[in-house]
Amino acid sequence: MTVQNGTFTIDSKTVDMPVKEGSIGPAVVDIAALYKNTGMFTYDPGFTSTASCESKITYIDGDKGVLLHRGYPIEQLAENGDFLETCHLLLHGELPTPAEKVDFDHRVTRHTMVHEQMMRFFQGFRRDAHPMAIMVASVGAMAAFYHDSTDISDPHQRMVASMRMIAKMPTLAAMAYKYSIGQPFVYPKNDLDYAANFLNMCFSVPCEDYKANPVLARALDKIFILHADHEQNASTSTVRLAGSSGANPFACIAAGVACLWGPAHGGANEAALKMLEEIGSVERIPEYIARAKDKNDPFRLMGFGHRVYKNYDPRARIMQKTTHEVLQELGIKDDPLLDVAMELERIALSDPYFIEKKLYPNIDFYSGITLKAMGFPTSMFTVLFAVARTVGWIAQWKEMIEDPAQKIGRPRQLYTGAPQRDYVPMIKR
Ligand code: CMC
């Protein structure tokens, strides 16, 4: 194959494949005409060289460790704003004016309650169900409760569904937690901010007064900001693919939740904490480092490595600081898990294997320790990720639906199975 100024010659067939420039970041080769002109597909399992769409929402420079939402660095958003401001930015493209912020917060707050019938839906689950299983089901079930916002061709209904999902996700997540520990569901309180309301729904009980610790509420809000969007990751691509068929937004987000559950994606924070617990003490770290490097051992250091970041994950830096703030506020000085985490980080960052492969701690490495200190069980970690990522999924889904060039996503394949053959009757097999 030869390439010259976007003209590719394959097997003596020449195809014009324009190179398209983005505003920043790598250009792409538009291969849409390839199959028509050559009868060949491209092959890229895991999409390591494939841009699946055009987007204006999030930009990542994995080599430099940069993450921008609508152009704004994640560090500035996490330091200066709150989660709902980031939601507005992702959804509408701009930071809100003071009046827009009041209106946006008010609209989210007014949608936090879920249909009372949802309570009964929850009663059908076993108490020991994983809360992510409950989330997949209850988010999908929203389509059965909110018929008036499932028409994707109506911009008003799209926006109502978007606000409903951002608002109701914490309520469903807290219900999943309360159900698992046998406590009554706690209704949302509209005078609390997004994170404090979530803490209240998770940790208050009707027989006692509860006031969310403002340091923990701010830390949780930051965790939500850090997880809000991450361009075309596995769950977001799942949401886009599900949405490309015209499926309703609740079904699409349920598909995103299902994908997020995997340990290579959102499940990594749960897996990272389990790993730290399993390692248990600083003395055992070398054994686990050796296992991570052993080609014949499937073990990987959870919370390390990233498909895109080949430098320190910028979110991990902020998360590391937040972890310390939370532990200090709670008076946790000698946490053995934190000791293991810090030493593991130090060793991995100086080990040639991890340096050569550019494996740095990712956000999940620290978020698990923080969420545990706040009182969340490990099974809830990925659920919190889902609460935060909902706005990213919704923003990406909306962008896709509103794109006039949008069509159903339908990848092709390299078939390596049996060629055509005749059916053999049972008696002759
Ligand atoms: N521990 C040990 N070795 C690793 C690790 C790790 N955590 N991650 C990658 N490697 C090695 C891997 O064995 C491979 O080596 P080789 O080239 O010799 O075969 C090389 O590094 C490249 O790995 P890869 O699997 O080809 O890279 P990928 O881009 O397909 O995978 C990843 C990215 C995040 C799935 C992977 O690094 C991993 O499994 N990490 C642990 C799970 C984790 O922390 N996931 C959270 C990701 S961030 C949050 C999110 O996106 O949800």
Q: What's the 102 CA to ligand 1 centre distance in angstroms?
A: 41
CB 253 within 8 Å of CB 149: no
Query: CA nearest 12: which of 40, 31, 32?
Result: 40
How close is the Cα of 385 to the center of ligand 1, in Å?
Answer: 19
Residue ranges in the chain modelled with pLDDT below 50:
none
Tokens 């959804």, located at residue: 91
Active site residues: 306, 364
Give me the pLDDT at residue 4, please. Answer: 59
Q: Residue 348 Cα, ligand 1 centroid: separation in angstroms?
A: 14
pLDDT of residue 380: 95
What pLDDT is attached to residue 3? 58
Tell whether ligand 1 has an atom less than 6 A from the beta carbon of residue 305.
yes
What is the predicted pLDDT for the residue at 1? 55
Q: For the full predicted model, state whether its pTM sits above 0.85.
A: yes
Q: Is 344 in the pocket of ligand 1 (CB under 6 A)?
A: no
Q: Could you identify the atom of ligand 1 that is nearest to the CA of residue 233? A: 51
How many beta carbons lie within 10 A of that of residue 162, not counting itself?
23
- Nearest by Cα to 228 from 315, 293, 353: 315
233 close to ligand 1 (CB < 6 Angstrom): yes
Beta strands in 2-145 (DSSP E): 2-4, 7-10, 13-16, 19-20, 28-29, 58-61, 66-69, 72-73
Query: Within 10 Å of residue 276's Cβ, how many Cβ atoms?
Result: 24
Which tokens sit at 170?
A: 């914490």
Nearest CA-CA partner of 15 in 411, 1, 51? 1
